Amino acid sequence: ETGVTQTPRHLVMGMTNKKSLKCEQHLGHNAMYWYKQSAKKPLELMFVYSLEERVENNSVPSRFSPECPNSSHLFLHLHTLQPEDSALYLCASSLGGANTGELFFGEGSRLTVL
Amino acid sequence: QKEVEQNSGPLSVPEGAIASLNCTYSDRGSQSFFWYRQYSGKSPELIMFIYSNGDKEDGRFTAQLNKASQYVSLLIRDSQPSDSATYLCAVDSGTYKYIFGTGTRLKVLA
């Protein structure tokens, strides 16, 4: 496999469920990101990890919990979500360091919260 | 609040014409500028990046940067129906921080 892969591609969950989104990158990058994309809004940065350490947390509600066990894998754990959390969640990676370079995106996980 | 502004469109151009997409940004410290293309239901993919003032050409695409005016543009020559997509402008605002615009939807009419 190459690039950035995300699973699941589609997820429907109730407000009381607990689920997780998974991201894996095969590019040898050091930085991984979670972005939220809602209709008619710019991409919102949620979390950034560099070499498994969280370097950015953009005031995201605690019902979203990231986990980065190694530089190739990134998870987003979801619990007690609200309907307004329905969106496309995009994982991305980049080289990292001082010259962060461009972002490489996965195909996204389309989340619907009922 | 650091921002990137784009006209949401849609921008409609006939096939074969030049499409001109524009973007302004607020952070004077930004050093890297990116254009991503996003097809409906797909994720963004990088089209061009530019770091220096002036023009950068890659095939049918030209990125233009004017840091004094805080303005970035993307020109698409000989537009094709397959170019119909949303184009996202992104600028860096510090390490690991990319600020995105809302995107401009381009429609190339056959």
Each residue of B15-72: pLDDT tens digit?
999 999 999 999 998 999 999 999 998 999 999 999 999 999 999 999 999 999 999 9
Instruction: Show residues of chain A in contact with B34, CB under 8 Å.
Output: 102-103
**Residue range A18-41: average pLDDT?**
94
CA distance B53 to B92: 15
What integer pLDDT is reported at residue A1 of this predicted model?
Answer: 56
Which candidate from B45, B96, B102 shows the least CB-CB separation from A100? B96
**Residue range A2-11: average pLDDT?**
93
What integer pLDDT is reported at residue A100 of this predicted model?
Answer: 64
Contact B98 A107 (CB under 8 A): no
**Residue range A21-45: average pLDDT?**
94
Is the minimum CB–CB distance between A98 and chain B shorter than 8 Å?
yes
Do B108 and B83 touch, CB atoms closer than 8 A? yes
**Residue range A1-7: average pLDDT?**
86
User: What does the pLDDT look like over B90-99, one tens digit per residue?
Assistant: 999 888 889 9
The minimum CA-CA distance between A68 and chain B, rounded to whole Å, is 16
Q: What Cα–Cα distance (Å) separates residue A51 from each residue in A27, A73, A96?
A: 14, 10, 9
Q: What is the mean pLDDT of chain A?
A: 91
What integer pLDDT is reported at residue A97 of this predicted model?
Answer: 66
The minimum CA-CA distance between B43 and chain A, rounded to whole Å, is 5
What integer pLDDT is reported at residue B93 of this predicted model?
Answer: 86
Place of tokens 């061009």: B48
What integer pLDDT is reported at residue B1 of this predicted model?
Answer: 75
**Residue B104: CB atoms within 10 Å:** 22
What integer pLDDT is reported at residue B96 of this predicted model?
Answer: 85
What integer pLDDT is reported at residue A98 of this predicted model?
Answer: 59
- Of all residues in chain B, the one with the smallest CA distance to A38 is B102
pLDDT(B2) > 90: no
Q: What Cα–Cα distance (Å) separates residue B28 from each residue in A42, B17, B91, B92?
A: 19, 32, 10, 10
In sequence order, the 6+-apart residues with CB closer than 8 A to the CB of A39 are none
Is the minimum CB–CB distance between A23 and chain B shorter than 8 Å?
no
User: What does the pLDDT look like over A51-70, one tens digit per residue?
Assistant: 888 887 778 999 999 999 99
Size of interface A-B (CB pairs under 8 A): 52
